[in-house]
Structure 1
């Protein structure tokens, strides 16, 4: 990070409890570092309709994703932190790895809306931790916010 730039925190939010907990951590990190926060929520075509671009109106999927992100943001106080929120098409892991190129820290929950509940890390958090171009903070369920 160059000194003239604000510390850039990116957080992935999918509406799950772990992602909202990660959002709270990300807000706290941005606040402590006097940085900015970029909230990303990814959407993609359901696998069953992959390859049918133009046949299906996916605007309802993107709209629902925007609502999910808005609800998540309403659950965490962030008025004192510069926040930008984006809904992007693509797989969550790929969207976050791409965003890491322009970030100082990625924050992500260890479990999201995917299956395989017994895994220690979800597939998205594992992908981001493995491939991100910046530091990654994986927030596990039940971890309290830092004291500051």
Structure 2
């Protein structure tokens, strides 16, 4: 990371379990390295309008995004690491790629659809991996959370 002496980890926050896992890792990693965490929640207007053609109220999106970020910041405060948050209007992928310019690491969940669908959709982690200016760690759903695979031998 050029021009900044502090180790910074950027985390994409959308309210999903994977996003929380990314935040937990980032906090522990920043603590171990004496660094800081920047939590980012991105939001954007949908590309469609409702059946009546009414425009979306941007304040609703901004408020929902702020609630998601505030909840996550409250969950991880007091862990001995400097943590700041930012709400950014734009696609989650482009926002995280831009933030990666000033980061040593980006941590994201593999799937969005957390507390507010549309903040970090499935392709976001892929875009971050391919376009970020620093390493990216993607947190996937744990195998314990996935349905079992194999042969059912129950009688």
Q: TM-score, normalised by structure 1?
A: 0.80
**Aligned residues: CA RMSD:** 2.2
Structure 1 unaligned blocks of 5 or more: 50-54, 115-120, 144-148
Partner of 1:136 in structure 2? Answer: 136
Q: Does the 8 A contact of 1:27 with 1:78 survive in 2?
A: no
Structure 1 pair 94–38 and aligned structure 2 pair: CA distance change class (3 A): same
Please say which structure displays the higher CA radius of gyration: 2
| Structure-2 separation of matches of 1:109 and 1:34 | 23
In the alignment of these two chains, the number of paired residues is: 132
**What displacement does 1:78 show?**
4.5
| Structure-2 separation of matches of 1:12 and 1:103 | 13
Q: Does 1:62 align with 2:47?
A: no
| Structure-1 separation of matches of 2:94 and 2:80 | 29
Which deviations, in whole Å up to 9, do the C-alpha atoms of 1:78-127 show, x marking residues without a partner? 5411111000000100000000011000001112218xxxxxx9310000
Partner of 2:151 in structure 1? Answer: none
Structure 2 unaligned blocks of 5 or more: 50-54, 115-120, 144-155
| Structure-2 separation of matches of 1:65 and 1:21 | 18
Q: Does the 8 A contact of 1:20 with 1:75 survive in 2?
A: no
1:1-148 matched pairs, under 5 angstroms: 1=1, 5-49=5-49, 56-113=56-113, 122-142=122-142
Which deviations, in whole Å up to 9, do the C-alpha atoms of 1:12-32 show, x marking residues without a partner? 000111111111111111111
**What displacement does 1:4 show?**
6.9
Q: Does the 8 A contact of 2:45 with 2:56 survive in 1?
A: no
